[in-house]
Amino acid sequence: MEIKSEWGRLSKVIMHRPGTEITYAMLAPKPFLFERPFNYSIASKEHQSLENVLKENGVHVDLLENLIVDEAENKRSFRKKLEEKIMSLVSFYGTKDSVEIAKNDMVKNIRYVDSLSLFQALIMEPSIDLKEYVAGIQYPRVYSNLPLANLYFMRDQQAISSGVLIGNMKMQQRRKETDITSFVFQEILGIKTKKIIRGFFEGGDFMPAGDFCLIGTGNRTDETGAMEAINSGVFDFPRIVIVSNPLYDFMDGHDIMVNMHLDTYFNIPAKGIAITSVVLAKSATSRIYARNSNGDYSLESSTTLYNFMKGEGYEFIDLGISEQLSYSSNFLTLSDGKIIAIDSSKVIHKLLAEDVFDAGTRHKILKDMEMRKGKMFPESDAMLRSGIDVIKIDLSEITGGYGGAHCMTSAISRT
């Protein structure tokens, strides 16, 4: 398990098919960090289509549910650990006696609960309130402490290079996702992990590129987390660049999608080519850290993301604001020069129809679209000239959670 570059041939990924846990996000999208509600039935089919395309291109895909359920069914020692994990998560409320009885019942009965139900409890984290009695009969009220609605964005919980670095999610809604992925890496895949503890770090901000890597900072990953990642021993690149994720100059700082992660405005489809909003890349201040003979990193110089990549010999495919805000940079690279990209035209029309943007941003998007005359990523003139092999896939519903193919896949092996 090793990833040295974003363009290495993708051979293995983990995905999570969204389930019941996103029902709550459909009813209250913003508190669950979603951009908008979406049709779950269609979104699930889109996710299945992404999985199928990966498999058709020789990528081994493991679904998180299958990994956990199959291991629990086939290995008693793991099933026991899963049971213990569920018992530590489920909460009971009521009188001292009723809580004690309920807990004892769970200890006694959990062996009979099927493995799929245990997995669902892991995602939903239920609480059972036993305080109320109706006609002498206990009346339970069931709550979900914080259903992990964002878990299907499997990129963000960790970063993989020479090892596995488990992140620390900044938003409370996502904090417990890393408990699940670290559990899988250690107990099922048998891989030792390191974890960010002091700062915040998310996998969408990590971009490996051969003899260097990029770490975005800002809305989710902070400076403390980035430096902790640099010194974790998981990354052994000769240089590491810490990038300050930028905003457009006309924005007031509240549009988190623009700079939530590095991969919301920057990605690498092939060695020597970057697809990005050049405006944002030129605004992204960057600090370059070089590794010495002892393996330690020290600050070497400062520049912008654009100038650094240009100095490395990279060519740029520029994304207009209409393309960048419709997840165009959130493509998934299959191999050097071959990507899975969303249909950004469908996405932007959906976002406009649902009135997602403020008036000023909407005006700039429409102006940009008019200039492009319907030729949007990945079918823009710049992309056609690039020679990049593109598999276009419709993810216009499921992107409502704030991410595309890159965010939805935890790449765990590239060759």
pLDDT at residue 374 in the model: 85
- Of 27-31, 150-154, 407-411, the one with minimum mean pLDDT is 27-31
Q: From CA 334, how far away is CA 331, in angstroms rounded?
A: 10
Average pLDDT of the residues in 313-324: 97
Q: In percent, how much of the chain has pLDDT > 90?
A: 90
What is the C-alpha to C-alpha distance for residues 23 and 202, in angstroms, rounded to an integer? 24
Query: According to the model, what pLDDT value does residue 368 have?
Result: 96
Is the pLDDT reported for residue 257 higher than 80?
A: no
Kindly state the average pLDDT of the residues 129-140: 80
In angstroms, rounded to a whole number, what is the distance separating the alpha carbons of residues 186 and 78?
A: 11
Provide the terminal-to-terminal Cα distance of the chain, rounded to the nearest Å: 9
Q: How many CB atoms lie within 10 A of CB 126?
A: 16
pLDDT of 253 above 70: no
Instruction: Kindly tell me the burial class for residue 81, based on how many C-beta atoms sit within 10 Å of its own C-beta (0-12, 13-18, 19 or more).
Output: middle
Contact 411, 13 (CB under 8 A): yes
Burial of 328 (0-12, 13-18, 19+ CB in 10 A): buried
Residues 6+ apart with CB under 8 A from 265: 245, 246, 258, 259, 276, 277, 280, 281, 319, 324, 329
Cα–Cα distance measured from residue 269 to residue 405, given in angstroms and rounded to the nearest whole number: 13
Determine the pLDDT at residue 38.
94
Rounded to 5 degrees, φ, ψ at 280 are -70, -40
Predicted local distance difference test score (pLDDT) of residue 124: 94
Q: Which CATH superfamily is domain 10-67+148-414 in?
A: L-arginine/glycine Amidinotransferase; Chain A (3.75.10.10)
Alpha-carbon span 99 to 180, nearest angstrom: 26
- Please, which pLDDT band fits residue 343 given cuts at 50, 70 and 90? very high
> Cα 16 from chain centroid?
11
Task: With beta carbons less than 8 A apart as the criterion, state whether 165 and 226 touch.
Answer: no
Residue closest to 33 by CA, chosen among 148, 201, 165: 148
Identify the band that residue 139 occupies on the pLDDT scale cut at 50, 70 and 90.
Answer: confident
pTM, two decimals, is 0.95
CA distance 398 to 47: 7
Give residue 259's pLDDT.
86
| pLDDT, mean of residues 186-211 | 97
Is the pLDDT at 252 greater than 80? The verdict is: no
Q: What is the mean pLDDT of residues 67-90?
A: 97
Kindly tell me if the per-residue pLDDT of 254 is higher than 70: no
Residue 138's pLDDT band, with cuts at 50, 70 and 90, is confident
Predicted pLDDT at 256: 66
Tokens linked to 395: 């993810």
Whole-angstrom distance, CA of residue 9 vs CA of residue 338? 9
**Angle at 123 (CA atoms; ends 122, 126), nearest 5 degrees:** 70
Q: Tell me the average pLDDT across 312-318.
A: 98
- Strand partners for 115: none
113/115 Cα distance (integer angstroms): 7
At 133 the pLDDT is 75
pLDDT for 128: 93
| Range of lowest pLDDT (63-77, 121-135, 165-179, 306-320) | 121-135
DSSP-based helix, strand, coil % in the chain, nearest 5: 40, 25, 35
Q: Are 50 and 86 in contact (CB under 8 A)?
A: no
The mean pLDDT value for 181-194 works out to 97
User: What are the b/e assignments for 25-64, b being 16+ CB within 10 Å?
Assistant: bbeebeebbbbbbbebeebbebbeebbebbeeeebebbbb
Q: Can you give the pLDDT at residue 250?
A: 87
Helices (H) and strands (E) in the chain, counts: 15, 20
Q: Let me know: does 194 contact 165? Beta carbons within 8 Å.
A: yes
d(CA 189, CA 211): 27
Q: 180 with 166: CB under 8 angstroms?
A: no
pLDDT at 127: 93
Which run of H or E residues covers position 391? Answer: strand 389-393
**Cα(127)–Cα(96) distance, rounded to whole angstroms?**
16
- Report d(CA 117, CA 356) in Å as an integer: 36
